[in-house]
Amino acid sequence: MDPAASFKQNFDVQDVPRVTTQIIKIDKDKLESHLDDFKYPTQLIHEGQVVAFPTETVYGLGANALDASAVKKIFLTKKRPADNPLIVHVSSEEMLAPLVSEIPDGARVLMKEFWPGPLTILFPTSDRVPPEVTCGQPTVAIRMPVHPIARKLIELSNVPIAAPSANLSGRPSPTSADHVYQDLKDRCACIIDGGECDVGLESTVVDLKRKKILRPGGVTLEQLQKFVPGIEVYSQEKDTEGLVSAPPTPGLKYRHYSPQAQVFLIEGTNFDRMKTLVMDIFNEYKGEQKTVGIIHTQHDISYPDEILKSEFCKIVVLETSRDVAKGLFKALRGLDSDGVSVIVMEGISESEEGLAVMNRIRKAASNILQC
């Protein structure tokens, strides 16, 4: 039996005891006046508990990456599949060194250019990293966040922190403390509220050995191509190495980012046809007295007042690809809160941030239409 299968078999998934959730507000621009506010979350980290905290990408649910029992609590708290590896967050290269068996030259180039920042790199793991973090894989995914609260929490805890997104598994990732509270109230003892996340999508994950982007994110393909010639986006359809059955990083195997509403994604550049499809979906569900949410991204499309002013329509306008990247998860959660039955999103170009946006919405969508 391979190590990953053995790990999954031995992982006993159960629910977590209910706790009182404390929210601690910290101004990321005034950290020195908030040092006392870090005492409780760092205490929890040292006690082997989990803490939700902001990063520049999304909110993370963190625990001491060197403590196997603490890492297991991450999986239990967010009901995460036991074979879905975690990303380890560090605050310095000195903290990185004991976690890996080597740092390849190519990794040093990317670290110099993109760390701290929303880039995760796969490294050959050392025996210091518990298999609960890597799910038995020979590599460990590591990044250095740029968000000052995340960096300070790691620094004051003085341990690397393993952290996936701070949501219930499968739900849209949280970009605010309120999103975390919606999912993890009474499951997580502490949420650090540092405001809304700047990037709004998870980090990019790269496998330099394969020259693959395993998960598009805050660092774009175009940026990486300047430093890693020949790097390309991993395609599940072209997978010949079994990465989905034994994922070395989050985001490869399971459906993610899904709101409670059914999601339609309309892809393509025939905007007349895209408009027709959106209106057809709206009219179908309006006829059933159901509310439709529209994530409107294409300014070549305008809808008639019969849709825009209808009580059965909720529309979220995201004006640029950067707005879409930052606002996608917020829009999905907001439309859920508005009680829509269906969400229709107009797809965007896959250049720059659009690659990560389309990666996420495809994973969330139950129906993908072409135009």
Alpha carbons 359 and 368: distance in angstroms, whole number: 12
Specify which residues 293 forms β-bridges with.
314, 343
Is 170 strand, coil or helix?
coil
Q: Which residues pair with 313 in a beta bridge?
A: 292
CA distance 19 to 146: 30
Helix (H/G/I), strand (E/B), else coil: 64:
strand
Query: What is the reported pLDDT for 1?
Result: 40
SS3 state at 317? strand
Q: What are phi and psi of 49, to 5 degrees?
A: -100, 180
Q: How many CA atoms lie within 13 A of 114 on its CB side?
A: 26
Phi/psi for 347 (5° steps) reads: -65, 160
- The span from the CA of 303 to the CA of 297, in Å, is 12
Question: Class for domain 262-370, per CATH?
Answer: alpha beta
| DSSP summary character for residue 37 | G
H helix and E strand count, the chain: 13, 16
Q: Are the C-beta atoms of 244 and 236 separated by less than 8 Å? A: yes
Model pLDDT, residue 69: 97
pLDDT reading at 9 higher than 50: no
Range 199-207 average pLDDT: 97
**Contacting residues for 42 by C-beta, under 8 A, at least 6 apart:** 153, 156, 157
d(CA 256, CA 352): 21
What are φ and ψ of residue 57, in 5° steps? -90, -75
pLDDT tier at 323, thresholds 50, 70, 90: very high
SS3 340: coil
12: tokens are 């006993």
Give the percent of the chain with pLDDT over 70: 91
pLDDT band at 178 (very low <50, low <70, confident <90, very high): very high
Q: Which residue has the higher pLDDT, 236 or 100?
A: 100
For residues 261 and 340, give the distance between their C-alpha atoms in angstroms, rounded to a whole number. 6
Which CATH code of 3.20.20.70, 3.90.870.10, 3.20.20.80, 2.160.20.10 fits the domain covering 3-238?
A: 3.90.870.10
Position 47, amino acid: E
Asked if pLDDT for residue 332 goes beyond 80, the answer is yes
Starting at the edge strand that comes first in sequence, how are the strands of the sheet with 262-267 ordered? 313-317, 292-296, 342-346, 262-267, 367-370
> What does the pLDDT look like over 233-276, one tens digit per residue?
998 776 666 676 666 766 665 666 789 999 999 999 999 999 99
Contact (Cβ atoms closer than 8 angstroms) between residue 90 and residue 177 = no
The CA distance from 300 to 70, in Å, is 50
Alpha-carbon distance values, 22 to 26, 52, 167, 187, 196 (Å): 13, 10, 16, 11, 18
Q: What is the pLDDT of residue 4?
A: 47
Q: In Å, what is the CA distance from 226 to each residue of 60, 213, 218, 221?
A: 29, 14, 16, 9
- pLDDT value at 10 more than 60: no
E strand or H helix at 3, and its extent? Answer: helix 3-10
pTM over 0.75: yes
How far apart (Å, rounded) are the C-alpha atoms in residues 79 and 75? 6
Domains of the chain by residue range: 3-238, 262-370
In sequence order, what are the beta bridge partners of 233? 213
